[in-house]
Structure 1
Amino acid sequence: MVVLGQSHVRGFLQRGLDAVLYSSTWLALAALGLTWSTFLFWQVHIPGHLGTMIFTATLFLYNLDSVLPYKHHQPVVPSGRKNWMRAHRQELLVLALGAFVVAAALFFQAGWQTLIGFISHLAAISVLYSLPVLKVHGRWRALRDFPLLKVFLIAYVWAAVTVWIPALYLHRALASPVVLILFARRFLFILALAFVFDIRDYSKDLLTGTRTFPGVFGMRATKLTALAALVGAALLLPPGLTLLCQAVLLLPLALAGGVIWWAEESRSDYYFALLADGVMLVQFVVVWFVSWLGC
């Protein structure tokens, strides 16, 4: 009876973990955490409605990507993540639609209509990233299908959402040196992590004809490029920090470096979903700690 009870508990916990990871809830928390860390840098509390809007918008976009009909007919390498998404496709669609309603309501309630042009270009990139609406050489393609473009699109949108939107909310000029440093640092950090998912999707991208860095340059060159991006992020520390706080801020970059170096396509889905995305939450915890130290 004890063994059966432990088995049920393990099964329940695993199902819960799968739901959090593969429904993009974990990823949406990471987006919220990175946005929050930008507010912490300026020693301002994150507005609840803005944080909720970022969280739900991320849920919407990533779950929309998961339920697109054409993606379920692509040749893919079987995995627990893909099997879970296929088995819960209807639930993911409901979650995506519900998240969209909440994000849209908060957007208009907060009076962000004056920034609809800025927000729209990010939304367009995010939707066109997965939706094949461009016809090239007789084949319909999404933005992610263009050679080597995936990682840069991901890094740009995430950096814009988690740095530029807080800056706009606080009425800070996007071209100011501090904002540019924060944006560039966040861009390089996300770029490095995006390469990890190119490694995960190596076989799938080959099957679908998507040319990514691992497919073009090889795994080792991809990892070295990702590590170079982390070095660039490490050199872009905001000014005015003590040596202790500078050292603490390097911790997420070091952890990301380890995740990148040991990334292999054959690793468990949990390695990518839990660790690679989890590094972004570590970034938030570290920035919160630095803010608490007052440096």
Structure 2
Amino acid sequence: MSVARAIPGFLLSVGRRLRRPLDAVLYSSAWLSAAALGLMWATFLFWRVHIPGRLGVLIFAATLCLYNLDSVLPYKHSQHPGVSGRKRWMRRHRWPLAAVALVAGAVAGVLFLADDRLRPLTPFLVHLALISGLYSLPLVRRHGRWRALRDLPLLKVFLIAYVWAGVTVWIPALYLGRPLAEPAVLALFARRFLFVLALALVFDIRDHTKDRLMGTLTFPGVLGVPATKYLALAALVAANAWPLPQMLAGQVLVLALPSVAGAAVIWHAHESRPDYYFALLTDGVMLLQFLAALVVSI
């Protein structure tokens, strides 16, 4: 009997010990940065080319830098944190996150300067960096609140999908000297854009009440949450229906499996879900896309 009573306490203790490192991985954007690396890696796998290690580390570091800079913006910490454990964790670790952003940015900068194949892509990279930086950076003050690109009506999910597809498809294409208008590049870009768009709509559902209170018009605010889910599912279907050149039927089926997981995440999403649902599962679907591409490439 004493052993039976001790087991729940032991499991609770283990859970508490695991929660700290898991919180750090998820809320410091390390998991999300791994997803960005995974999607870029998947692009190289599609094209049967080894991903350059330097480029992979650069993308991981740059993503880590941008998302942590976004999380430590001063105006964000003047907002009410609400009941989100993620927001409270980020507020408590604001200065460590800023340090991570600076170190990651320095690593990305050094790797960029050291790569002769990346420097000619500077104009293209700058436009993606500008969109990423201005996404949350306060630009104008209206009705007593600072507004960023993400606050333009219905725009933020398209900005996210465009930047992620640009980083994970167009940068590899340009790095390899492939034209952006090449059918194989266009097809993969369209699939990636729609795939990320579907997942970005899940985060609109998560932030539905907060966005409404802050005056940001999003798809859940216009269409309602159920219709937004159908829109996200339609984006997933369109992503998988877009034909990829030189892909066999069995390979197409394997590549569709992450979207099945994504559809389940979308269907069961609502804003009262725990933070782990969004940070772990929704972002994790992108890593499943990498695993599917890895299987197809074998």
Q: Which of residues 187, 201, 206 is equivalent to 1:200? A: 206
Q: Provide the C-alpha distance between the structure 1 equivalents of 2:161 and 2:20, rounded to a whole number of angstroms.
A: 30
SS of 2:211's equivalent? helix
Alignment of 1:108-257 (within 5 A): 108-111=113-116, 112-135=118-141, 140-257=146-263
1:266 aligns with 2:295: no
Q: Provide the C-alpha distance between the structure 2 equivalents of 1:223 and 1:8, rounded to a whole number of angstroms.
A: 37
Q: Which of residues 56, 67, 72 is equivalent to 2:77? A: 72
Instruction: Give the CA deviation at 1:5.
Output: 5.6
Structure 1 segments (4+ residues) deviating >4 Å: 1-7, 135-139
Q: Provide the C-alpha distance between the structure 2 equivalents of 1:238 and 1:134, rounded to a whole number of angstroms.
A: 42
Given that 2:81 and 2:88 are in contact with CA atoms closer than 8 Å, whether structure 1 keeps it comes out as no
SS of 2:138's equivalent? coil
Q: Provide the C-alpha distance between the structure 2 equivalents of 1:16 and 1:244, rounded to a whole number of angstroms.
A: 38
Q: Provide the C-alpha distance between the structure 2 equivalents of 1:7 and 1:217, rounded to a whole number of angstroms.
A: 41
Q: Which of residues 19, 24, 27 is equivalent to 2:29? A: 24
5-14 or 164-173: bigger deviation: 5-14
Code of the residue aligned with 1:87 in structure 2: it is: R
TM-score, normalised to structure 2, is 0.94
Gaps of 5+ in 1: none
Q: Which of residues 89, 97, 117 is equivalent to 2:94? A: 89
Given that 1:76 and 1:204 are in contact with CA atoms closer than 8 Å, whether structure 2 keeps it comes out as no
Q: Provide the C-alpha distance between the structure 2 equivalents of 1:109 and 1:256, rounded to a whole number of angstroms.
A: 37
Given that 1:76 and 1:207 are in contact with CA atoms closer than 8 Å, whether structure 2 keeps it comes out as no
Closer, same or farther: CA 177–134 of 1 in aligned 2, 3 Å? farther
Q: Provide the C-alpha distance between the structure 1 equivalents of 2:278 and 2:272, rounded to a whole number of angstroms.
A: 11
Task: Work out the percentage of aligned pairs sharing the same amino acid.
Answer: 63
Code of the residue aligned with 1:266 in structure 2: it is: S
Code of the residue aligned with 1:55 in structure 2: it is: F
Q: Which residue of 1 aligns with 2:17?
A: 12
Deviation string, structure 1 residues 177-233 (Cα, Å, up to 9, x no partner): 110000000000000000000000111111211111101110011111111111110
Instruction: Give the CA deviation at 1:235.
Output: 0.8
Q: Which residue of 2 aligns with 1:46?
A: 51
Given that 1:75 and 1:204 are in contact with CA atoms closer than 8 Å, whether structure 2 keeps it comes out as no
Gaps of 5+ in 2: none
Given that 1:53 and 1:106 are in contact with CA atoms closer than 8 Å, whether structure 2 keeps it comes out as yes
Code of the residue aligned with 1:245 in structure 2: it is: Q
Instruction: Give the CA deviation at 1:254.
Output: 1.2
Q: Which of residues 261, 285, 293 is equivalent to 1:279? A: 285
Instruction: Give the CA deviation at 1:136.
Output: 5.8
Q: Provide the C-alpha distance between the structure 2 equivalents of 1:216 and 1:245, rounded to a whole number of angstroms.
A: 37
* RMSD (Å) for aligned C-alpha atoms: 1.5
Given that 2:45 and 2:297 are in contact with CA atoms closer than 8 Å, whether structure 1 keeps it comes out as yes
Code of the residue aligned with 2:270 in structure 1: it is: E
Q: Provide the C-alpha distance between the structure 1 equivalents of 2:294 and 2:270, rounded to a whole number of angstroms.
A: 31
Code of the residue aligned with 2:228 in structure 1: it is: T
Q: Provide the C-alpha distance between the structure 1 equivalents of 2:193 and 2:84, rounded to a whole number of angstroms.
A: 29
Code of the residue aligned with 1:69 in structure 2: it is: P
Instruction: Give the CA deviation at 1:73.
Output: 1.2
TM-score, normalised to structure 1, is 0.95
Q: Provide the C-alpha distance between the structure 1 equivalents of 2:202 and 2:149, rounded to a whole number of angstroms.
A: 19
Given that 2:36 and 2:168 are in contact with CA atoms closer than 8 Å, whether structure 1 keeps it comes out as yes
Q: Provide the C-alpha distance between the structure 2 equivalents of 1:14 and 1:140, rounded to a whole number of angstroms.
A: 34
Given that 1:77 and 1:204 are in contact with CA atoms closer than 8 Å, whether structure 2 keeps it comes out as no
